[in-house]
Amino acid sequence: MKNPLHSLTGRFMIYSSLLLIALMGAVYVYQSAQIRKDVEQQLLDKGRTMAISLSRSLQSITESDFQTGAVLKDGTKLSGEELRRRLFDDKLELVGGSEQEAAKRSQDAGYADSKQKLFNGTDIPMAKYELKYTSAYDAYTDDRWQAVVDSFLTDDQMVFAIATAYSDNPEAAGYIATHNSTYSPTGEASKDDWGAVGLLSQKYRANRVFNDETGYRAAANQNTADVLLQKYPRVLEGKIVETWDVSYPLMFGGKHWGGVRVALSKEDSDALIARQEATMAAVLALLLVSTLAMLYLLSELAVARKLRRLLAATANLNSQEADLTYRLPDKGSDELARLSREFNRFIVHLQVMIGAVRGVSSRVGGTSQQLAEQAAHSLTAASGIAETVQQMAAGAGSQAASAEESARAMEEMASGVQRIAEAASQVTEASLAMVQEAEAGHKISLTATEQMLALSRSAQDVGEAIQHLNERMQAIGEMAGVISGIASQTNLLALNAAIEAARAGEHGKGFAVVASEVRKLAEQSEGSAQQIQEQIGEIHHSMAKAVDAMERSSAEVEKGVSGVRHAGDSFGTILGMAHQVSGQIQDISSASEEISAGTEEVTAGIEEMARIASGASEQLARMARATESQAAAAAQASGQSEALKQAAGELQQAEGRFKI
């Protein structure tokens, strides 16, 4: 069962209770202060009335006696002038035996330690403070004022009503000649704890000087505009009670004599205040309970029942299916009805939004499926491209290695051609010497014979060199064929790469550029190989001429050897043929130099082809790494498309809970 304190009505009652308690508390505090103020004002009014009445009563009696004189009970006659003189005589005489009684009381340890603070702040022993005195007007006040002051003890709140005299002598100010009879008993009733009776008894409070702060101020007050209120604690029947001392000046013939003091006990007033506060608290508590009960009934009738119906209606919105076609009841014009209408409008907006979410989730699901398929195709294509690029990189590496081997072979061929050129130069020098010797052949025929033999050997050497050069040319031709084959294969691979790049679409643009560059390199390599073939063909043609010349030279040498004995007769022919041989040897030398230069060019071309093949291999390697990165991106895209497809499924499952 749901905690009622968690309901709106429960919280309303709690807040209302707290607010009402605070309000009632404030009312109680305010009313209590007002009650206390009213009761205290009543007490003060009573004290004011009694003090002014007592002062005017004593003033009236005394001023009448000033005019007519007074006859005391003991027969003493006092004229008005004598009476005035006595009343304003402030001299006090110590009562005989008073000091002895004070000394007796001082022997009591508890009493001896007692002190009394005077109006001037001085502390004196209690025994000295309680000394008894007589004055010139004691008999008159006891006779004429006693009955008057006793008449003012009309209720329990009255503690005493007395007249107190003022004197310029601080030790005499506050003297009370006549006290209420209650506080000045006689006979056995006046006997105190130390055995004294009558005027010397501690219980007899008349004939004493009350010059403490309260008594002195009451006697010295001359303000007739209003009474003087003084508050002090007083022990009554073993408990401390706040006492109000209300005093008013006492004037005779316009001259200040002293004042009257009316002491009121505030105990009854406090009891009255307590009773009124208790009554008020009971009334406020009853009002609080009644108000809360009324608020509870009103909240149940006006709010709680409608809220319960509203909660019961919203249960459909929080069901497993979350029916958004349901509408809350919105009859009426109060806040709950307006809230229901606003909530119904919100449900309409939510219904439209869930419908839109359902359509979007369906489209997202289809798109994620297409994206997953495209990512799978991209991954397959990227894998094929990566394999092709790796094959091309391997072919380019092989091409670079073959080019390096061809370059080394051409370097060896160039070295051989250089040796041929050197040999041809030597033959040229020998032919020149032979011409010179032929011119002088008739003189040195034997020398000519030796030279012819040397020429024969040189011719054999030249033939062997040419044969060796022919073999090298054949090796170079084979290498050029290999390079041409590699270039064709590279061109084919570049074509395949371009086709795969075209299939890859936007992702294969970079790869298509690399394939185009590789194809260009392959075409350049194939052109260089064809040039090498052409140079080798020309070299073969020149070498054929040189071989033919060498064969003819060899026949002539043989004829020269056989006919050396007839040197003189046929020397002219030998000389002509020597010139011919010298020219041919020069041609051979020139051809050798051309072969050497062509060989260097071929070597440089092959080295360039090797460099290009190496660069192509590096580019293909980078392209292979890029293709691998592309494949990884395609795999990541495939995973993301799967995650998107899963999210779309979850979204469809979530919006499927709503009935629209």
The DSSP secondary-structure symbol of 137 reads T
Interval 304-308 mean pLDDT: 69
φ, ψ at 226 (rounded to 5°) = -160, 170
Q: Where are the alpha helices (DSSP H) in 440-508?
A: 445-504
C-alpha span between 480 and 490 (Å, rounded): 15
**What is residue 430's predicted lDDT score, i.e. its pLDDT?**
59
- Tell me which amino acid residue 218 is: A
State the average pLDDT for the chain.
78
Non-local (6+) Cβ contacts of 37 within 8 A are: none
Q: Please tell me which residue, 103 or 338, carries the higher pLDDT value.
A: 103
For the ranges 142-156, 417-431, 499-513, 559-573, the maximum mean pLDDT occurs at 142-156
2-54 pLDDT, tens digit per residue, is: 565 567 677 777 888 899 999 989 999 999 899 989 999 999 999 999 999 99
- The pTM score is 0.47
The answer to whether the CB of 660 falls within 8 A of the CB of 324 is yes
The ranges assigned to domains in the chain are 70-266, 388-631
- Residue whose entry in the numeric block shows the structure tokens 């009451």: 218
For the ranges 50-64, 258-272, 335-349, 494-508, the maximum mean pLDDT occurs at 50-64
Interval 146-155 mean pLDDT: 92
User: Mapping DSSP to helix (H, G, I), strand (E, B) and coil, where does residue 248 land?
Assistant: strand
Q: Where are the beta strands (DSSP E) in 79-215?
A: 93-94, 115-117, 123-125, 133-134, 158-165, 175-176, 208-209
C-alpha span between 609 and 401 (Å, rounded): 11
529-554 pLDDT, tens digit per residue, is: 677 677 777 767 776 776 676 677 66
What are all long-range contacts of 292-295, with beta carbons under 8 Å and residues at least 24 apart?
292/13, 292/16, 292/17, 292/20, 295/12, 295/13, 295/16
**Per the structure block, which two tokens stand in for 377?**
């195709």
Cα distances from 122 to residues 118, 210, 216, in angstroms, run 5, 14, 13
Q: Please tell me which residue, 298 or 604, carries the higher pLDDT value.
A: 298
∠ CA 369-375-381, nearest 5°, is 140
User: Mapping DSSP to helix (H, G, I), strand (E, B) and coil, where does residue 558 land?
Assistant: helix
CATH, domain range 70-266: 3.30.450.20
Cα distances from 519 to residues 488, 495, 622, in angstroms, run 9, 7, 17
The answer to whether the CB of 606 falls within 8 A of the CB of 392 is no
φ, ψ at 132 (rounded to 5°) = -105, 145
C-alpha span between 566 and 569 (Å, rounded): 5
**Per the structure block, which two tokens stand in for 207?**
């004939």
φ, ψ at 234 (rounded to 5°) = -140, 135
- Tell me which amino acid residue 300 is: E
Bridge partners of residue 232, in order along the sequence? 243
Q: Note the residue count of the chain.
A: 660
CATH, domain range 388-631: 1.10.287
Q: In what order do the strands lie in the sheet with 255-265?
A: 208-209, 175-176, 158-165, 255-265, 239-252, 228-236
Q: Where does residue 68 rank: exposed (0-12), middle (13-18), buried (19+ CB within 10 A)? A: exposed
